[in-house]
Amino acid sequence: MDVFGIPVSLTYKNEPRIKSVTGGFATIIMRCGVLAYLLYRCADVFARKTAIQSSSHILDLSNENLAYKLTQDEFDLAFKVEYTLLDSEPEVQENIEEYAYIQLSQNIYTWVTQNGRSVQLKQRHRIETEICKYGRLGLKEDGIDYLNIVKTYQCPKKVDFQLQGSYSARIVQQVQIGVFPCNQTYLDITTNKTKKCKPKAEQVRVGANLRLFVVVQNSFFDQEAFDSSIIRASLKPYFLSPSFNKSHSYLFLLSKNQVKLQDSMFYGDTQEKQFIDTRLDYLNMLCKVLEGL
């Protein structure tokens, strides 16, 4: 403003703006660029494209004091034992408990010091099982049970597992599916003393021809889903076999994954979901007679 309060503006050749061919082209290019970027982002919205950023964190389980709890809301499993010579010896499969028995247990191993030596105390708590029914492992009556899980596999009555540490940790908690030679005391309890264990030689022969089937309900993050069921369930079958006069130990690793969902860093609340994946890690073989699979 001048001394009289009248606005005064700078001009160039009596124009409030500098107009040139170069400036015009620059303005057009910038506006076209902004419009193109806007259309590009709109296309991503309509096509429902997502940007996924992943990171992994590996725990030192030898120093991990936290126990991880698994429930049926996020994890489930089924298992069965089958005789490989079923067609030629069907009576063995019908009376398989006279040769071997399968047991699901929650095991706790604790390292203690006794007389100056490190000793591992072992506790095994048997988990009650039942014949699998519809509703387990995502199976429905109007669906197709390709693996024939219902009525042929065993499922834990209640999934309430604790996992903690590794073999080098002070306290280890694991879940075990074990196949063991027939035990008469256990057989009397389960059959009300109506059956007897077969001779040891027969147990070894049949045990070398058993197959352990384990089906685990895994879950995964479906980046193409935009509804409430963004965590999908899937069944992962495992087939495990023994060797004659040897004990096998197959170790499974379980990973618990966390997903954080958000429309953008500036808009929308963050949602957190979890999914679980398993894989067979390695095989440990011991020269023992049918100690377990």
Report the alpha-carbon distance of residue 272 to residue 50 in Å, rounded. Answer: 16
Domain extent at residue 42:
1-49
% of the chain beyond a pLDDT of 70:
76
Tell whether the torsion through CA atoms of 214, 220, 224 and 228 is positive or negative.
positive
48 vs 144, higher pLDDT: 144
- Do residues 98 and 159 both lie within one domain? yes
- What is the pLDDT confidence band of residue 40, given thresholds at 50, 70 and 90? confident
- Do residues 17 and 113 both lie within one domain? no
State the DSSP string of 153-171. SEEESS-EEEEB--TTSSE
pLDDT at 265 over 60: no
- Do residues 86 and 224 both lie within one domain? yes
pLDDT at 50 over 80: no
- Do residues 111 and 224 both lie within one domain? yes
Pull the structure tokens for residue 293: 């699979």
30 vs 222, higher pLDDT: 30
- Do residues 210 and 87 both lie within one domain? yes
Helices first, then strands: H and E counts in the chain: 4, 12
Cα–Cα–Cα angle for 172, 259, 72, rounded to 5 degrees: 50
288 vs 21, higher pLDDT: 21
State the DSSP string of 196-214. -PPPHHHHHHHHTTEEEEE
> What is the pLDDT, as a whole number, of residue 286?
45
> What is the total count of domains within the chain?
2
pLDDT at 292 over 70: no
- Do residues 230 and 106 both lie within one domain? yes
> What is the pLDDT, as a whole number, of residue 1?
55
- Do residues 161 and 245 both lie within one domain? yes
Tell me whether residue 207 is in a domain: yes
pLDDT at 282 over 80: no
